């Protein structure tokens, strides 16, 4: 049961604390229709692994021909070592849920530390330091999301497929 009130949808707001960040993340997933763009330095077991989050990711991934979930991870091997639940979904839906590893040139201190989730409804969650659980979020703020989306597109184009996460298909 979600004990957090719905996040206001009238522009960007500060978000702080792991529970508040998780609640906003779930609201952004629920508001997405076909597309997500996610940047994470690491994929700890507490992020994108709850049954509700995985159900929303699956819903988006099977939403139709326009469905696309793109994730850039700084360290995909760590997610593999911990057996993150998202990897099972990515292996079952590899043409829709794609994971790449950031290119060497995108591994600077500032870029590597931040994380964000962007949806196709103009919503975003941005944490300048993914370890601190403090940042800003909006359910509908296309102008606030635009620079993050542009930066994500550039990082995605340089990123390499995370081949270590692909199913072997034996």
CATH code, domain carrying 112: 3.30.870.10
The answer as to whether 111 is a domain residue is: yes
The answer as to whether 5 is a domain residue is: no
Backbone angles phi, psi at 77, to 5 degrees: -65, -35
The answer as to whether 105 is a domain residue is: yes
The answer as to whether 139 is a domain residue is: yes
113 pLDDT band, cuts 50/70/90, is: confident
What is the token pair recorded at 97? 């849920």
Per-residue pLDDT of 118-138, as tens digits, reads: 999 999 999 999 899 999 999
- Report the share of the chain in percent with pLDDT over 90: 68
Give the domain extent around 145: 13-163
Domain count, the chain: 1
The answer as to whether 157 is a domain residue is: yes
| Distance separating alpha carbons of residues 19 and 52, to the nearest angstrom | 14
The answer as to whether 168 is a domain residue is: no
The answer as to whether 90 is a domain residue is: yes
């Amino acid at each position: 049961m979600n004990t957090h009130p719905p996040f206001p949808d009238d522009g960007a707001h500060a978000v702080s604390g792991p529970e508040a960040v998780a609640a906003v993340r779930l609201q952004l997933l629920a508001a997405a229709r076909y597309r997500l763009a996610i940047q994470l330095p690491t994929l700890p077991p507490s992020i994108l692994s709850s049954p509700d989050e995985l159900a929303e990711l699956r819903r988006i991934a099977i939403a139709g021909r326009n469905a696309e979930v793109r994730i850039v991870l700084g360290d995909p091997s760590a997610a593999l070592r911990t057996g993150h639940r998202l990897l099972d979904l990515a292996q079952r839906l590899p043409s829709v849920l794609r994971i790449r590893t950031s290119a060497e040139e995108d591994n600077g201190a500032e870029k590597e530390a931040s994380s964000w989730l962007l949806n196709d409804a103009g919503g975003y969650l941005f944490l300048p330091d993914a370890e601190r659980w403090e940042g800003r979020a909006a359910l509908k703020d296309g102008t606030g999301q635009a620079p993050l989306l542009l930066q994500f597109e550039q990082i995605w184009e340089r990123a390499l497929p995370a081949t270590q996460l692909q199913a072997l298909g034996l």
